[in-house]
Every structure is written in C-alpha cells, then in structure tokens.
Amino acid sequence: MKIEDIKEKINEILPKNAGVSKIEVEGPEIAIYTTSPEAFFNNEDFVSTVAHTLKKKINIRTDKTLLEDPSTAKDKIMKLVPEDAQIKDISFNPSFSEVVIEAIKPGLVIGKGGETSKKIISETGWVPNIIRAPTSNSEILRGIRHHLSKNSHERKQILKEIAERIYKDPSENSSEWVRIVALGGFQEVGRSCLLLETPETKIMIDCGVNVAGQKKSAYPMLDILHFPLTELDAVIISHAHMDHSGFLPYLFRVGYRGPVYSTEATRDLMTLLQFDYIDVFSKEQKECPYSEKDVKEMLKYCIPRGYREVTDIAPDIRLTFTNAAHILGSASVHLHIGDGAHNLVYSGDIKYGFVRLFDNIDLNYPRIETLILESTYGGKADIQPNRNFAEQRLVEIINETIEAGGNILIPVFAVGRGQEIMLCLENFYKTKRIDTKCYIDGMTAEASAIHTAYPEYLREQVRRRILQNDSPFSSPIFEVVKSEDRDKLLQSKGNIFLASSGMLTGGPSLEYFKKMAEDPRNTMIFVGYQSEGSLGRKIQKGTSEIPMTVEGGKTRSLKVNMRIETVDGFSGHSDRLQLIEYIKRLRPKPRRLIIDHGNKIKSMSLAQITQGKFGIRTNVPQNLDALRLK
Ligand code: ZN
C-alpha cells in the first residue's frame, strides 16, 4: 500500500468529529494528529478499527495547537501523577507531541483504564510516552534516552524517509527469487552476518565482530558485496552480543543511513557493549573501526519492536521477532517474504530448556520454509549436565574454595551469563547454601540495571520481584566494585568476584586473573562459552604458564597455580540434545535447514542428524557462499 492510499483509507474510516488534522507515516508506524483527543477516548474502536484495517501500529498524537508550554505542563503532570509512581525524568518531544515520562512504577502514570494518561492529554495537550526507570542507576540508559529525546526532530525526519522506502510499490518480479549470502559466522562462531536479497530488497541480518579473532577474521566480509552498503534497505539485529551486533556502527561510519530493527532491550544493551568495545581499543592504543559518534548516529536509526509484533520493513518483507530465551531481548527473526513466497526463520542464539531469567523459547510460527539454526554446541560431545546438577556443583566449588582460604573468580559475559549466575548466587544465598559476599565488577552491574528497566522480557518470578521492588540484582549478597578497591578486596578471603569479559579477552576479569592466578587457594570457574583462540580456552585446556603484560608494561610469565574448574549447564546456548529437541518441537516443521554459528565439525555433525533422522534437506555453508531459497 502506498502512503497516499494509507492516508485516504484513514480519512475514510474516521468520522469528522475525530478532528484529524494531519496523518504521518513514521517508519512502520502511523501517526494520526487530532484537535480532539477526547473523541478518541470516547470511541476506543477508532484506533482499533484503523489498526485492524491497515495492520499497522497507530499512534494518536495531539495537534500542535493544543500543546501547553512545557514547564506548565510539567507542573500539571507532577500534580496529576501520584507520588508513589516515583517519576525520575520528564522530557518533551514537540516533533511527536509527546512527553516522555520515566517512572519506577509506570502503571501509576497510566492509571486505571488509562485514566491518568488521559487526564495528562486533556489538561496539557501532550501525549505521554511512559517508560520504566531502572531500579538501580544506569548511566548508559539515561544517556541513550536523552540522546533520543534531544534528536527527536531529526528522528522524525528519518522515520518519514524510511516510510518512503517501506511503502514504495513492489516491482513486478519482486517475488521471483530469494537468496542469502553468508558474510560471517558460518562454520565458525563470531562475526555473524548475512545478507538476504530479493529482486526488490536487500536486508542484512546481524553484523557482528569476532572479539577473539585476528584482524583479518574479526569482521564480516562486507567487501565482497556487489553494491554499496548505502543501498541496504534495513538491518536486523537478533541480540546484543558483540558477535551479532558489534560491527553495526561501522555501517554508519561508511554511510549507511537506514533502519535498524531490534528489540528495545537489544538496542540498549548493544550500545553498552559497543561503547565498551571502543574503550578496549583505546586502552590498548589501537584504532577501533568506529567511534562513539557512529554509535550515536546508529541510535537515531533504531526502530525497536517487541516480540510477536508484525512489522512491514520493505515492500515485500514482513518481520516478526520471537523470544529466543538467550539473553535479555534476544530474538529469533521470522521473515515473511514476497507475500508468502517464502518464510524464513533465523534462530539467532537460542536456549531450549530451563533458565532462571527468561520464559521458554517460542516454538510456533505461521509458516517456515527455511530455518537458519545456530550450532554452537551441536557437536557429538556437546551434552550439558542438567541444571540442578550444575548448580549443586557450583555451590560445592565455592564452599571448598572458601574453606581452603581462597577467593573465587567467575568470568562472565556482562550481558547474559552475568545475570543468570547472579540469580543463582542470590538463590544459594537466600536458601543458605552459601554465606559469602559477591563483588560485581565491570559492565555486569550496568547490564543488570538495564534488565530492571525491561521486566516484561523476564520470567514471571523475576519480573514480579522487580515490580515489587525486591529485585534479585539488588540483593545484599551483591556489591559493585570500583576498580581502585580491587586490591584491598583481594587481600580479604572468601569472596566471589563476578567480572567481565567472559573469555578473559580483556576487562576486569583479566585483571583479577593476573592477581589471583598464582595463589593455589584461589579458584576460577568457567560457566560460559570459551571460543577458539581466547585466553579462557587456553587456560581451560590446561596451559600452566602465560606471558603477561604487567604493570609498567613489562612482560613476565604468569604461573597458573589456582584451581581451574569448568561447570557446564549454565550456557545460554542449547546443547546438542536441546537443538535436536528444538527442531523436533518447532511448528510447522521447516522444509530446509541451514546451519551456522558453530565450528565446521559441530555444524556438520548436527547436519548429519537433521538430514538423516529428520529427513530435512540441510546445508552447512561457508562464509561467502550464496544460497538460493526460492
Ligand atoms: Zn549470543
């Protein structure tokens, strides 16, 4: 449907008394401006009829003439909203006629049946956009929200331009073929990236870096593309981990200015990780492929979508995210291509099986012709112990170390394993299975705060606790460490240190390791994936001496005397049996399978099963392969 037709349709549906003064198409959404917001309060089916007819998200906005002066409006809002809502911030975006209200209890800003929100609109003219404040402070979240607010005028222009591309008429041959090109993360883990192409549209799915990779294998192979990156229609990011989102700002560095679709939590977490990536480069005095400026530019183009929200992202492509249960906001990507000509599911990283943080993974789709599936733990030997066993083992190792008079280091990914392990430790502490203090270092604390801003992504028990102001992340067992306090804390014994990075590729975990490695009373526990080439993998394999740069820039050999343990079973990835179970339970059954995100042996071994046991045609492409799907 063309933009003109959309506008005409809305004018047809809505009566004169709806007071429609302007209709704008903002990216995939539609904004209707009205001089009579009350008409919409009194006729709630106005919005639902339009949304249903056009199958689009509809935003009702007030006409500019109704907008009260911001400072007066702010006073009125403070009076209308009960104090208990704990408003943390109010900002005004005139371009969207919207007032962004950030509160600890958003429900109270909305009021029963939307009562309070409606009053805000009637009395100030501004339409509230109510967002949840994190229960503990997050610099990065505040920074992102301010940045978006400050640039709302420009964002509006961007959304209008994006809409022009989404609603152009598809060409006649648009559903003739569909193909993918493997650009990274095939027969390997790291730098996930693929291009999906139709005669009409070019879409990139994920754009990652391999943080443990050498320079030439660290980034996706974008230079083989037969068109400039500025011609991409959209980029979709499945989740925030750097091997899926870490190279995205580079696209903006080289001139891409199109939409980035992800969940809201992914947008915020990937920004956190990208800033950190830049930071690591500057500490090592190396040149990062992009700068903070590129990340900020990227943010303006982010269009967040929730799970199960169906969105037109190109004339011939409709996107839906579903829960992948891997990290906060992680999604599998369903693409409905060419009016049903082909349906593709890109799994992203998935966890089939119980985790404390998230609801179970989504298994139902309207249609699937092709499934692109990760295979991180797809190998024959990749069977993880059950969760209870893993948790019991963790408790034992912690208590044994404390008895021996040592400290415990658990290197974690700041996003994902960090929070899952925190929930475990909090549970052990509550049930008196451990009695110690756990120090959180690096970005893990910041990432946990972001979790509390998006409880809707979390498993019910955790969500409820956050909403009742009993966040497990704020338990007395946890304390956030400042880097200057590290040495003092290391001198006392019986502590747990939870620090990123998860593979000892840099960050505080590496600093702790250097200071703890030589004392045999200490223990390091690996709970997450250690990729080929990382220091974590080397130590896990038994390397006992490591050349290290120590303070003063000198190199010396570090003896690994500390106890090294790996406890499997906490992974955010499915093990081999879970991957097989996932394929079995997925509805409908895919006709074709493409395996990525695993080393060659594991991917091939998984393919043998799916091809042999399930009879699904399976490919294990290499980077640079192109596969025709239709
Ligand atoms: Zn991941």
Spell out the CATH class of 67-155: alpha beta
Q: Which residues of the chain have pLDDT under 70?
A: none
Going by the DSSP 8-state scheme, the letter that residue 587 receives in this structure is B
CA of residue 342 to ligand 1 center, whole Å: 26
The full set of domain ranges for the chain reads 3-64, 67-155, 169-257+268-292+322-380+574-628, 387-566
CA of residue 531 to ligand 1 center, whole Å: 12
CA of residue 16 to ligand 1 center, whole Å: 51
CA of residue 127 to ligand 1 center, whole Å: 36
- Helix or strand holding residue 441 (H, E): strand 437-441
Say if CB 317 and CB 335 are below 8 A apart.
yes
> Encoding tokens for residue 313?
């992202």
Strands 331-337 and 408-411: unpaired
pLDDT for residue 209: 96
Say if CB 192 and CB 184 are below 8 A apart.
yes
Spell out the CATH class of 387-566: alpha beta
CA of residue 135 to ligand 1 center, whole Å: 25
Say if CB 598 and CB 579 are below 8 A apart.
no
CA of residue 242 to ligand 1 center, whole Å: 8
Q: Is the peptide bond before 508 cis (omega within 30 degrees of 0)?
A: no
Helix ranges (H only) for 444-586 are 444-453, 460-467, 486-491, 508-516, 535-540, 576-585
CA of residue 315 to ligand 1 center, whole Å: 30
- CATH annotation of 3-64: 3.30.300.230
Alpha carbon distance 196, 230 (integer Å): 15
Looking at 3.30.70.20, 3.40.50.1970, 3.20.20.70, 3.60.15.10, the CATH number of the domain 169-257+268-292+322-380+574-628 comes to 3.60.15.10
Alpha carbon distance 76, 121 (integer Å): 11
CA of residue 338 to ligand 1 center, whole Å: 29
Kindly report, residue by residue over 98-111, the tens digit of the pLDDT: 999 999 999 999 99
CA of residue 204 to ligand 1 center, whole Å: 17
pLDDT for residue 137: 84
Alpha carbon distance 381, 613 (integer Å): 18
CA of residue 349 to ligand 1 center, whole Å: 5
Residue 202 in 3-state DSSP? strand
Going by the DSSP 8-state scheme, the letter that residue 307 receives in this structure is B
Alpha carbon distance 432, 333 (integer Å): 41
Alpha carbon distance 527, 154 (integer Å): 43
Residues bordering ligand 1, an ion, CB closer than 5 Å:
241, 349
CA of residue 176 to ligand 1 center, whole Å: 33
CA of residue 239 to ligand 1 center, whole Å: 7
CA of residue 252 to ligand 1 center, whole Å: 22
Of the CA atoms within 13 Å of residue 83, those in its CB half-sphere come to 0
CA of residue 444 to ligand 1 center, whole Å: 15
CA of residue 626 to ligand 1 center, whole Å: 24
pLDDT for residue 552: 74
> Encoding tokens for residue 328?
């906060």
Residue 260 in 3-state DSSP? strand
pLDDT for residue 211: 86
pLDDT for residue 204: 98
CA of residue 538 to ligand 1 center, whole Å: 21
CA of residue 241 to ligand 1 center, whole Å: 5
pLDDT for residue 339: 86
On the question of a common fold for 3-64 and 169-257+268-292+322-380+574-628, the answer reads no
CA of residue 168 to ligand 1 center, whole Å: 34
Alpha carbon distance 182, 194 (integer Å): 5
Going across the sheet that includes 592-596, the strands are: 311-314, 317-323, 331-337, 342-346, 370-374, 592-596, 617-619
CA of residue 346 to ligand 1 center, whole Å: 13
CA of residue 276 to ligand 1 center, whole Å: 16
CA of residue 330 to ligand 1 center, whole Å: 8
CA of residue 571 to ligand 1 center, whole Å: 10
pLDDT for residue 542: 93
- Residue among 411, 373, 414, 340 nearest 567 (CA): 411
CA of residue 572 to ligand 1 center, whole Å: 8
CA of residue 240 to ligand 1 center, whole Å: 7
CA of residue 569 to ligand 1 center, whole Å: 16
- Residue among 332, 331, 377 nearest 580 (CA): 377
CA of residue 417 to ligand 1 center, whole Å: 10
CA of residue 243 to ligand 1 center, whole Å: 7
Residue 581 in 3-state DSSP? helix
CA dist 228 to 6, 202, 253, 261, 516, Å?
Answer: 31, 11, 13, 20, 49
End-to-end CA distance of the chain: 24
pLDDT for residue 266: 98
